Amino acid sequence: MEALGIDAKLILAQMINFFIFFLIFRKFIAKPLARYLKKQEEDESKRALLTQELDTAKARLDEERKAMLREIKAEQKKALGEAKKYADGVKADMLQEAQKQATAVIEAGKQAVEHEKQALQKELTTYVRQTAQIAIDKGLASYLTDDKRKEITNHIIQTIQPPKS
Amino acid sequence: MKLSKQVKDDLRSYLKSHIDSHVSKVQIIAPYELSMEEIALIKLKIPSIAKRDVEVVTDSTILAGFMIKDGSRLMDYSLKTKLQSLFGASNQI
């Protein structure tokens, strides 16, 4: 072996050295590194799981939010419809009431005008009759001579009906 | 104030005669002085005043005809009142 240039002692020493290195490596480097890697892998899987759960929760929340928005919109639409319906009813009632009041005012006005017209007509008729009576009295007073007065008086005496006592 | 019996009797008889003279007299209101014939005719037509004294009062505003005033009673036969009645009746139409 020496002829081949191989030093058995050196090989042995190197083998022992390698073995010692292997032991030290395994004891102080390989195992902690493996634990570290394993822990990293576990953490990664936990993160992935958490991420997945978070995504699921987010999706669920989004869906719930969308559902709530739809519900709110539907409620809003319903409330608006009801408010519009109520407002239309109130508007119709107000219009009807206003029309009724306007009709009453017009009717009252017509009646007032009619009453005033009748009162004026009556007043005018009374005035005309009184004027006519005064004119006739005055006309007769100037027209009737003593002879005429006597003639009329005698006619009245002739046609007199004795009063019922 | 006390009155003696004599004064009371005198006052009573005076008032009685005064009332009797007014009650017994009938007033005829006419537009002119009525003649005796007209008064007689009126008395003939209205027997209630036939035996009563008549006082004629002239009032030209009654136009024609006459009115008889007997105390508080008034019998109206004047032309003016007839015209007024006519106008009153026409007012009710």
Average pLDDT of every residue of chain B:
86
Strand arrangement of the beta sheet that strand B73-78 belongs to: B53-58, B25-30, B65-70, B73-78
**Could you tell me if residue A3 is inside a domain?**
no
Determine the residue among B77, B83, B92 to mutate to test chain A binding: the one whose Cβ has the most chain A Cβ atoms within 10 Å.
Answer: B77
Determine the pLDDT at residue A165.
54
Quote the number of domains for chain A: 1
pLDDT in tens, A107-152: 999 999 999 999 999 999 888 888 888 888 888 888 888 888 999 9
Q: DSSP string covering A32-43, please? A: HHHHHHHHHHHH
Average pLDDT, chain A: 91
Please give the structure tokens belonging to residue A37: 């890697």
Nearest-by-Cβ selection for B30 from A133, A136, A153: A153
pLDDT of residue B91: 66
Cβ–Cβ below 8 Å for A152 and B64: yes
Q: A2 lies in a domain? A: no
What is the pLDDT at residue B93? 62
Which stretches of chain B sit within 8 Å of chain A by CB? 30-32, 34, 38, 41-42, 45-48, 60-61, 63-66, 75, 77, 79-80, 83-84, 87, 90-91
Whole-number pLDDT of residue A152: 92
Q: Let me know if A40 is exposed, middle or buried by CB neighbors in 10 A (0-12, 13-18, 19+).
A: exposed
Checking if the pLDDT of A2 tops 70, the result is: no
**Is residue A82 in some structural domain?**
yes
Instruction: Kindly state whether residue B84 falls inside one of the protein's structural domains.
Output: yes
Range of the domain at B61: 25-91
Contacts of B91 in chain A (CB under 8 A): 125-126, 129
C-alpha distance from B91 to closest chain A C-alpha (Å): 7
Please determine, for residue A59, whether its predicted confidence score (pLDDT) is greater than 80. Answer: yes
Distance between CA atoms of residues A52 and A155, nearest Å: 137
Q: What is the pLDDT of residue B36?
A: 92
Task: Find the residue in A nearest to B42 (Cα).
Answer: A157
HSE-CB of B44 using CA atoms within 13 angstroms? 9
3-state helix, strand, coil in chain B (%, to 5): 55, 25, 20
Given a cut of 70, the residues of chain B with pLDDT beneath it are 1, 20-24, 91-93
- Look at residue A56 in the predicted model and tell me its pLDDT: 96
Tell me: the pLDDT tens digits for A33-57? Answer: 999 999 999 999 999 999 999 999 9
Bigger pLDDT: A2 or A13?
A13
Do residue A129 and residue B63 have CB atoms under 8 angstroms apart? no
In a domain, A105, yes or no: yes
- Give the per-residue pLDDT at A84: 96
Tokens of A59: 């999706």
Residue B15's identity, in one-letter code, is L
Minimum Cα–Cα distance from A132: chain B residue = B87
Whether B79 and A141 lie within 8 Å, measured CB to CB: no
In a domain, A32, yes or no: yes
Q: A65 lies in a domain?
A: yes
Q: Is the ipTM of this complex over 0.95?
A: no
Q: Which of A29, A82, A129, A149 is nearest to B86 (CA)?
A: A129
Total domain count for chain B? 1
Does A113 fall in a domain?
Answer: yes
Q: Is B10 contained in some domain?
A: no
Indicate yes or no: CB of B87 within 8 angstroms of CB of A150: no
pLDDT given for residue A95 in this prediction: 96
**C-alpha A154: how far from its chain's center?**
95
Q: Is residue A120 part of a domain?
A: yes
Q: What is the per-residue pLDDT across A71-104, written as a single tens digit (0 to 9) for each?
A: 999 999 999 999 999 999 999 999 999 999 999 9
Using the predicted structure, report yes or no on whether residue A12 has a pLDDT greater than 70: yes
Identity of the residue numbered A115: H
Identify the domain containing residue A71 by its residue range: 8-158
- Across the interface, do B46 and A160 touch by the CB < 8 Å criterion? yes
**pLDDT score for B51:** 85
Q: Which residues contact A32 (CB under 8 A, 6 or more apart)?
A: none
